[in-house]
Amino acid sequence: MDERVEEVERLVGHTFRDPELVERALTHSSLADRRSLSNERMEFLGDSILSFVVCEHLYRRYPDADEGDLTKVKSYLVSRLKCAEYAHEAGLVGLLSVGKGFSTQRSLPQSVAAAVFESIVAALYLDGGLALAEAFIMRFVGPNVETTERMGHQMNFKSVLQQIAQARGLEMPAYAVTDEKGPDHAKEFEVAVTMGRRRFSACWGTSKKVAEQAAALVALRELGHAVGEEPAIEIRWPGDQGVSADSTRSSAQAAASTDDPETSTTESASDS
């Protein structure tokens, strides 16, 4: 038996009747002879199982919450960011077989790490049923549920920044890619936020979406509306205690400043 299968069985606490499910779950498409032999189909199935388990858990845990609030929490808990974290926490990422194009990367792209977690979820479901897959999922999702619900922002800092800009009468944030690096299969992007004529510090990310979220968080910090470190970032909304009227006025004036002509031609990125 493949040593990786034995290690996965130790990590997940289950002996597989069909070890081939594990081998396929740990095979990236860059290495497989055919895409159907990679973990892509299992990722597809695991993603749906993960969403179902988390939705049911939230539905039962928060009987008075409305659909919109439940959706926000669920979307974050099953996001690519969180699934990649779960994969690292579970010890699965180092077991993934990938093609030579990834061998020089210091770390795998977030999407690849997330896929191996979802693929193992599918393998557990196919081999042992829903209860087994659910127990594995909740080992990692469970501790994050209460924290995520309490944070309120679900790490969607672009949405928070837009809401704060509207509340304070500031220019709407615009996102521009200022640089990029890396090969096509593992490209990284640098993104900066502008509001009016003010440009905030740029941030790198493994995708445009990741970089935009990081850049939005930087803007929130520089405006005085975000404090703390992940995963316990606190948003200070306009009018909250600790956000003074003076700081609100001064940062609003800075955001509306026209003293920096170099930022006047920044293009807006899509919000997707």
Q: Which of 118, 149, 190, 212 is catalytic?
A: 118
Q: Looking at residue 184, what is its pLDDT?
A: 83
Q: Out of 23, 47, 127, 190, which one is annotated catalytic?
A: 47
* b/e code 156-171 from CB counts within 10 Å (16+ = b): bbbebbbebbeebebe
Catalytic annotation on 184?
Answer: no
271 a catalytic residue: no
Given a contact cutoff of 8 angstroms between Cβ atoms, the answer to whether 236 and 176 are in contact is no
Our measurement of the distance from residue 33's CA atom to the centroid of its chain's CA atoms, rounded to an integer in Å, reads 30
> DSSP letters along 31-51, please?
T-SSGGGSSHHHHHHHHHHHH
**Taking residues 215-227, what's their average pLDDT?**
92
- Domains detected in the chain: 3-150 (1.10.1520.10), 157-263 (3.30.160.20)
Confidence of residue 122 (pLDDT cuts 50, 70, 90): very high
pLDDT digits (tens, 9 = 90+) for 186-199: 889 999 999 999 99
0.75 surpassed by pTM: no
Residue count of the chain, please give it.
Answer: 272
In this prediction, residue 9 carries a pLDDT of 95
- Average pLDDT across the chain, whole number: 82
Check whether the bond before 231 is cis (ω within 30° of 0): yes
